[in-house]
Amino acid sequence: MTETVIPTDDERTRLEAGRVLFAQACAFMLGVARRDQLPHPQLPEIAFCGRSNVGKSSLVNALTGRKTLAKISNTPGRTQQLNFFNLGGALILVDLPGYGFAKVPKSQVDGWTELIMDYLRGRRELSRAMLLIDARHGLKDKDRTVMSTLDTAAVNYQIVLTKADKIGPGALADTVAAVIAEAATHVAAHPEVLVTSSETGLGIPELRAVLAEIAARR
């Protein structure tokens, strides 16, 4: 029998702050294909990064409650630019292209991978990078490369497991434990690993609460 977990008053307050933040309008600002196109600094930025087809656009849509805000495709490499969204004048959400495999020429993948790394290393307004990892596969070498890059650049990042509905409870628990243990060896990694599903809504309120806390600091 599953034990019912009753949220504390502090947890309810956090979750409500997240709900209120993401009830605000979220509008597409622009897409960026080159570093010189990056928008003038306005608000704290939250970047969503991860391997191709990890579910970045689906997660942005689930967070905002808008099914078509960010474009979704089953074809790896569909997102080919940095897409900026203004969330209620409080945060900028940045949907990054996926790194790794994509059904486009290697030179094109290399180009947007370089843009991703330039953005992650050098964007002063970047408050936190949310590093998305497919719960079915766990951390891969390309993820570890990004983690090391963020460590070196002293960019705070937090691991978010996606597609948790597509894995059994036991395997999910093993993945979470392994990811937490590895994240603990990285100086810029946030200690809390979030578990989400864009399909079922698992973990979405908790992720909204984390982002609301970041927005409140500005």
Token representation of residue 104: 């486009």
In the sheet with 157-162, reading across from the earlier edge strand, the strands are 26-32, 82-87, 91-95, 45-50, 126-134, 157-162, 194-195
- State residue 41's pLDDT score: 77
- Per-residue confidence (pLDDT) for residue 76, from 0 to 100: 40
Question: Which residue matches tokens 């630019």?
Answer: 81
Successive 10-residue mean pLDDT values, the chain, 218 residues: 66 95 93 87 91 90 80 45 92 87 54 78 90 97 93 95 97 98 97 97 97 91
Q: Are the C-beta atoms of residues 3 and 86 closer than 8 Å to each other?
A: no
Query: Residues 187-217: pLDDT tens digits?
Result: 999 999 999 999 999 999 999 999 999 999 8
CATH hierarchy code of domain 9-216: 3.40.50.300
Per-residue pLDDT at 106:
57
Identify the pLDDT of residue 75: 38
Question: Rounded CA gap, 196 and 218, in Å?
Answer: 26
The continuous run of DSSP H or E covering 111 comes out as helix 106-122
Query: For residue 32, what are the contacts with CB-CB under 8 A and spacing of at least 6?
Result: 38, 39, 81, 82, 83, 84, 115
| 3-state SS assignment for residue 170 | helix
Tell me how far apart the alpha carbons of residues 98 and 80 are, in angstroms, rounded to a whole number: 8
Structure tokens at 78: 């569909």
pLDDT of residue 1: 43
Cβ 183 vs Cβ 157: under 8 Å: no
pLDDT of residue 68: 58
Question: d(Cα 98, Cα 101) in Å, to the nearest integer?
Answer: 8
| pTM of the model as a whole | 0.86
What is the per-residue pLDDT for 87? 95
The pLDDT assigned to 5 comes to 60
pLDDT at residue 74, rounded to an integer: 41
Under 8 Å between Cβ of 14 and 209: yes
